[in-house]
Structure 1
Amino acid sequence: MRGLRVRPMRGEVGDSPWGKAATPADALVQMAMDHGIEAGVVSADDALRREKVTQDELKGAVERVENWPDAHKARSMLALCSGLRESVGESRCGIALELAGIRVTPQVEIKDAFGKLVGRVDFLVEGTKVIVEFDGKVKFESGNPEVLWAEKTREDRLRRLGYTVVRLTWADLERPGAVAAKVQAAIRDAA
């Protein structure tokens, strides 16, 4: 088959309906080592979020390849992955921010003075009132005015609470340096 690569199994072997296969954790480690940190983190975030793998299983898989070529990619994947990010776009945002030294907490609930939920935000920059939101096309693509109005109202309420909102798109993610600069500018302006 064109494009198919076959090689000896790395790490632990589990059972599948089709026979022996890499465990999910080992497959994710292989993904990072073979295809890069971003591919590994995006895949690990999804597997963690859907509870297909645990952080401990990933840690064990990374330890098994400690002295292998490209093991540094697996270690980086482990350090950067989180089961809290809900999409590929959020995963890529998280990677760009963390690699730029901007510490963020994903999926933070923001409440008003009465304890009423205003919204759950994609990221809150630690130690600040700067929110980072990833805008994929799905939410806005329909053109449904009610969806757009709800998002605008939510953002207005967040701003009234003193938060600064930085919105990132797929185009922004193609320039990680620009992502960092945009968020760092918001942090400076909010201080």
Structure 2
Amino acid sequence: MHQHVAGSAHRDLVMEVGVAIVQTGVTNGSMAALVAADAAAHRGLVSSEDLARCAALVKGPHVWRVRHILGQVDGRSESPGETRLRHATGAMRLASTPQFRIEDGAFLAVVDLLLEGSRVVIEFDGFVKYGRVTSGSMAPTPGDVVFAERTREDLRAHPSTRTHRPCAARLDDPARIVRTLCATRRPCAQQPDPPCTSMRCVA
């Protein structure tokens, strides 16, 4: 149950999205706020300005942690796993770009994350994408999942990149993920420039 906050832009019994996100972080931890904020920003429900304003309205002993982490919101992340991966790499001083587009002739892929300054691709291997699709759902169909998986496998074999696919169980050990990424990045640095015709971020 979210509490009304004076100064927020709520209407009737509907809580403002930004306030609900901040209160979620105060109650459940700052990572919960970041996951919720990324999802809301991805759907166009909240802006960075909204979050900053709402974070200033909410009071509490741990709200400063929430205010700090909300500065990292990026609506390009498309799942909680992608958000947590991006945060984990950033916390270890490895900057990454979400939803990076790789083109090479007829080959096209949009990857979850690309380590900046490298050719290391990070694809979150979340079991949720293999779940059942409910009636009327906008979630990917089994065919979508299979096609996306084939694209990922093509990407793994592509000479321009090296791909790392951590699963949800690894997200609680970010140091292990980063050690693997650093080990992957070193061989890439010794190779010639990639033959890709285009590597760019999706706007």
> Does the CA contact (< 8 Å) of 1:62 and 1:75 recur in 2?
yes
1:15 equivalent in structure 2? 11
Cα deviation code 1:108-147 (max 9, x no counterpart) = 11000x3x452100001111111000011144578x7995
Matched residue SS, 1:134: coil
Q: Does 1:88 align with 2:84?
A: no
When residues 41 and 11 of structure 1 are mapped into structure 2, their CA distance, relative to the original with a 3 A threshold, is farther
Matching residue within 36, 42, 49 for 2:42: 49
SS of the aligned residue for 1:187 comes to: helix
1:72/1:187 CA distance change after superposition, 3 Å: farther
**Which of residues 117, 120, 134 is equivalent to 1:127?**
117
Aligned ranges 1:172-187 → 2 under 5 Å: 172-187=170-185
Between Structure 1 and Structure 2, the one with more strand by share is: 1
For the residues of structure 2 that align with 1:139 and 1:6, how far apart are their CA atoms? 30
* Partner of residue 165, structure 2: 167
Task: State the Cα distance separating 1:46 from its structure 2 match.
Answer: 0.8
Q: Is the 8 A contact 1:11 1:22 kept in 2?
A: no
- Relative contact order: is structure 1 or structure 2 higher (C-alpha 8 Å, sep ≥ 6)? 2
Q: What residue in structure 2 maps to residue 151 of structure 1?
A: 149
Letter in 1 for 2:114: L
- TM-score, length of structure 1 as denominator length: 0.80
Question: What CA RMSD, in Å, does the superposition of the two structures yield over aligned residues?
Answer: 2.8
5+ residue gaps, structure 2, are 133-141, 190-203
Q: How do 1:93-132 and structure 2 match up within 5 A?
A: 93-112=85-104, 114=105, 116-132=106-122
- Residue in 2 aligned with 1:61? 54
Moved more, 126-135 or 30-39: 30-39
- Report if the CA contact (8 A) 2:119-2:160 is conserved: yes
Match of 2:20 in 1: 27
Secondary structure at the aligned position of 2:76 is classed as coil
Spell out, residue by residue over 1:141-190, the C-alpha distance to the aligned partner (whole angstroms, 9 max, x if none): 78x79955863454334643410101110111121211111112111221
**Residue 77 of structure 1 aligns with which residue?**
69
In structure 2, what is the equivalent of residue 189 of structure 1? Answer: 187
Distance 1:31 1:138 in 2: 22
TM-score of the superposed pair, with normalisation by structure 2: 0.76
SS in 1 for 2:160: coil
8 Å CA contact 1:80, 1:98 repeated in 2:
no
Misfit runs of 4+, over 6 Å: none
Task: Give distance in 2, aligned partners of 1:70 and 1:145.
Answer: 44
SS in 2 for 1:183: helix
5+ long unaligned stretches in structure 1: none
Distance of 2:3 and 2:148 partners within structure 1: 51
